[in-house]
Amino acid sequence: MLRYFLTRLAGAVPTLFVIVTIAFFLIRAAPGGPFDQEQTLPPEIMANLQSAYGLDLPIWNQYGRYLGALVHGDFGPSFKYKDFSVTELIGQGFPVTLELGSIAMALALILGIPIGTFAALNHNRVADYATMSLAVVGIAIPSFVVLPFLGLAFGIYLRWLPVAGWEPGSIRHLVLPVVALALPPLSVIARLTRANMLEVLRSHFIRTAFAKGLPLHTVILRHALRPTLLPVASYLAPAVASIMTGSLVVESIAGLPGIGRYMVQGALNRDYTLVLGMVIIYSTLLILMGLVVDLLYAWLDPRVRLVR
């Protein structure tokens, strides 16, 4: 198991390298540069800036220097947030984003799986239709609509929770953003769980379990749940991606100091190093999630062998 884990981690390095390379040249291919402003700078100042950041060097040279620094864990300086390195920016914001994202993910799983199971057990009845209609709403309405609506309802009218803002360690400030962020993956997980649970409940081994005279909850929890969760596990990686992109919007609406805003602003500002740093963080997370999914698969279905 440990060996499998380590080989998979080592296998992630070339993947990351390819991603970094593609991202490096793609962002350079975008027109404009980090120091372009509405008023063009005098050529001498521009030249000074370019050489200070090494942008006057041939692009292969820049690429080599970037990779060299990266190997030592240095993401380089931010072009836009002067006096900050990309490592510092991400280091400050990432814990907030991680907290927001992981609570949202946990919420989506903890609520989505039981809701889906409940709907499956009430197949073609009112409870089934009601929850699944709500789930469609949850998938269809984007978080930038849900969050202001929640803020209006719970922040301004009911005054239960803050509309926006952030205090370190404050749970109350996280509630609305987490709900807005968790809603789409929660809905998808509920629908996936329902569909698969219905499928599994029709299988022969479930018939055997009922024939053995086991009570319903034992049949569901011991016999039906694990095979039901296989497709849900496959959805985890896309769910993490959806939560990450969702957090770009949610963080800026709720005024949370996460790293979501850097992705958009960095790209708009041609803040090359910041964008690359974000790409590395996000792709590492996704690769790790893929590994987690594979390990989950092996646990959910003993016929899956982890061989490498």
Partner 1 sequence: MTPLLSIEEVSVSFSQHKRSIAAVRQVSLAVAARECVGIVGESGSGKTQVFMAVMGLLAANARADGSVRFEGHDILATAPEHLNRVRGSKLTMIFQDPMTSLTPHLKIGTQLAEVLVCHAGKSWSEARIAARRMLERVRVPEPIRRLNQYPHELSGGLRQRVMIGMSLLCDPMLVIADEPTTALDVTVQAQIIELLRAMREEVGTALVLISHDLAVVAGLADRILVMYAGRIVESATAVELFRHAQHPYTAELLKCIPSLSSPRLERLPTLAGQPPQPGDSLPGCMFAPRCSRAAERCRVERPLLAPTVGIARHVACHYPLPP
Residues that bind partner 1 (CB under 8 A): 123, 203-205, 207-216, 218, 222-223, 226-227, 300-303
- The answer to whether 225 and 117 have CB atoms below 8 angstroms apart is yes
Least spacing, CB of residue 178 vs partner 1, in Å: 32
Q: What is the DSSP letter of 262?
A: H
Distance (Å, whole) CA 78 – CA 274: 6
149 vs 299, which CB is nearer to partner 1? 299
Q: How far apart are CA 258 and CA 102, in angstroms?
A: 13
Nearer Cβ to partner 1 (179/209) = 209
- Kindly tell me which of 80 and 223 has the beta carbon lying closer to partner 1: 223
Q: Provide the angle, in degrees to the nearest 10, between the axes of the packed helices 126-140 and 172-201.
A: 130
If the CB atoms of residues 139 and 298 are measured against partner 1, the closer one turns out to be: 298
Least spacing, CB of residue 142 vs partner 1, in Å:
36
Q: Please tell me what DSSP assigns to residue 84.
A: -
Of 127 and 216, the one with the shorter C-beta distance to partner 1 is: 216
CB 36 → partner 1: shortest distance, Å? 58
**In the 8-state DSSP scheme, what is residue 30?**
S
Q: Provide the β-strand partners of residue 85.
A: 77
Rounded Cα–Cα distance for residues 65 and 279 (Å): 18
The minimum distance between CB 238 and partner 1, in angstroms, equals 24
C-beta separation of 150 from 180 below 8 A: yes
Distances (CA, A) of 71 to 23, 66, 68, 275: 17, 9, 5, 17
Shortest distance (Å) from residue 222 CB to partner 1: 7
CB of 215 to partner 1, least distance (A): 7
Closer to partner 1 at the Cβ: 28 or 226? 226
